[in-house]
Structure 1
Amino acid sequence: MGSYKTLDDLIAAGPLKGRRVLVRADLNVPMAEGRIADATRVERVAPTLKELASHGAKVLVLSHFDRPKGKRIAEMSLKPVADAMHEWVGQPVGFAQDCIGGEAAGAIAAMEDGGILVLENTRFHPGEENNDANFARQLAEIGDVYVNDAFSCAHRAHASTEGIVHHLPSYAGRAMEAELKALDAALGNPARPVVAIVGGAKVSTKIALLGNLVKKVDCLVIGGGMANTFLAAQGKQVGKSLCELDLLDTARHIMANARAANCEILLPTDAVVAKELKKNVETRTVNVNEVPEDMMILDVGPDTLAHLSGRFETAQTVVWNGPLGAFEIPPFDEGTMTAARQAAMLTRMGNLISVAGGGDTVAALNEAGAADEFTYVSAAGGAFLEWMEGVELPGVAALENAA
């Protein structure tokens, strides 16, 4: 991972009092009755906003909200988010009716030093998603400095994430810095051995991810529905389980590449099976060579968990994306919960660096009560997945080139 400037560099460069600092945040948060239903993204950007405000900067927050596709849609205004943010930043938060032009300039001129102002949804302008050079210049005109603190948007080459960097001195905010450091520790320059867990329903959604990881990690654990495709590729019968029969050759190719790279692939050796996916259904634990024709694999079994536990015990780093089973419906959450708690325990003991990301993964770790004990849990979604795939993220690349 390349070099980039941080808030430390910005603060060292000279006084911030009165300077207009544009902070790209991700305020695309779920709302319920005018309140922020999940404040994770606000909580993560809050330290950057508060630090800049404490130095007397005029803090101008850029963000998108939903998908207005270049049109001004009242229901997609950031005003309700701005109105609710004071709870997390510890001071009043203003709102400007636009993110460029006279409306923005007027609201900024009325600010006191150390104030925080949320600018209206950048996606109300078609130039945002088009990364239009003129729109990027208009954004830059209202600020003196740019700070990107929205890793979750870094996989999009938009005007407020990539284009604006060409016009202003640019820095990584505290949340962006923490994310990049965690990702570098996970796959960039990790402590070895590295174990990666990849779960989820389908191989088809994670072909690029698997292809990249076999070149990067020492052990690749494949779970969830996608493991069934790999088991079938080995000639095993998987009954009525979810299985992508058209991807058996792809699975064999991934396994061959893993062998060539000296990456061990750990597949389930036993499984919890049932005739249907629902609560309180009758289950059995069977060897993966003995899956009944009328049953589905819905979770890993104790033998598989014992193998996984052994890998955790000898690993230095664990990277996790995707559950090991149908964790939303007990008892098929047992494998994911057990593995998550062990990784959390080893992290708490100082024996493991653990980095996880992806919506289902975060939900599973929260359910297990393990998320707070992981070294880092990314809330970035698509950006986290693309990073794991080895894709260059435009928002990050722009900061590195600016440095």
Structure 2
Amino acid sequence: MSAPSHFDRGHTDDLMTFLSASPTPYHAVASAAERLEKAGFRQVSETDAWEGTAGGKYVLRGGAIVAWYVPEGAAAHTPFRIVGAHTDSPNLRVKPRPDSGAHGWRQVAVEIYGGPLMNSWLDRDLGLAGRLTLRDGSTRLVNVDRPLLRVPQLAIHMDRNVTADGLKLDKQRHLQPVWGLDDTVRDGDLIAFLEDEAGLARGEVTGWDLMTHSVEPPAYLGRDRELLAGPRMDNLLSVHAGTAALAAVATSGADLPYIPVLAAFDHEETGSQSDTGADGPLLGSVLERSVFARGGSYEDRARAFAGTVCLSSDTGHAVHPNYAERHDPTHHPRVNGGPILKVNVNNRYATDGSGRAVFAVACEKADIPFQTFVSNNSMPCGTTIGPITAARHGISTVDIGVAILSMHSARELCGADDPYLLANALVAFLRP
């Protein structure tokens, strides 16, 4: 049966391509940069002096990207409109000494990154991807996007009470994947294998940042294909939407009163405290240098920041049909109901009434609905880069996103129309 749709599925098709091409934060920013290059953006180095010319520019640092578009004739004190997101997702990451094994099994030693739903990584075909650092200091991306690893679950015959008592996983003992058979553990085997995969000479790799990913591709789901199942939608869905929105605004030829910006950070899932995280100096440095490159002073920088607004876009929780009691009784965001505004009076989200008004106007202009998410008072609330951005830079920030199920699973679920609706809201926000 062909899928009826009220909205353009071309955007969601492209999101699926983006997810598949982005198994790690390093691949995600490379994918975003490739899209921006096609829209006329060019990369600038942080070690070079910057020019104040108009046009699109971007900075890459590890698993983070900051991109901005300076309209022709923009004053040094022109405020920014920022879409913030993050590139990382919870997963299993390779340890410094990766080669391990026992009882004839060859295994890879992994560490738990962030807060994954660990059971979702069991009995799943996994690939391996990341960044290799070479002897000369350069880096090379690698992606083994085929079944390579597996974390085998214990058979029910050996854990008869698992259904009644629940699955209990020891992070150290139970989550080490297998990738072959061998009675001898040899240090260097995994990295040598990856050197071969990347076409590198043996011994050329001296450092690595590697992680597992599910090799099952994203797919439409449901009778009418109105749902989308896929990996890393928290939060590559927002990175993709922000990239598409920035490219659309930069190529629109519109007279822009603001400088539109995309800031996609790494390490949100572990607290954002790194040189590529939202709690680091990257965004502030890029914005300040943009002001100064256009001949601005500290006064111009202060004026620009005072008029700046950031939409912190991250996935949120759709009402779960099997656990509706876990949600606030009067706030039940639904998939394909439009983006969500995320509110928490204890500042776990940065939204206030003024920020709500900014987002409401953008959605009204884009002619799309939006919803509101508030946590159940009896449950702790998650957080995002929003409060960090607001506090670190003194920037008015609003938390938004797309409602999904199975957050932090190896495979998450959203409405197939919501990514397109979010992207349109972001275009309206960047181009008021």
Same fold (TM over 0.5): no
**What TM-score do the two structures reach when normalised by structure 1?**
0.25
| Structure ranking higher in helix proportion | 1
| Structure ranking higher in strand proportion | 2
Q: Which has the bigger relative contact order, CA under 8 A and spacing at least 6?
A: 2
Pair member with larger Rg: 1
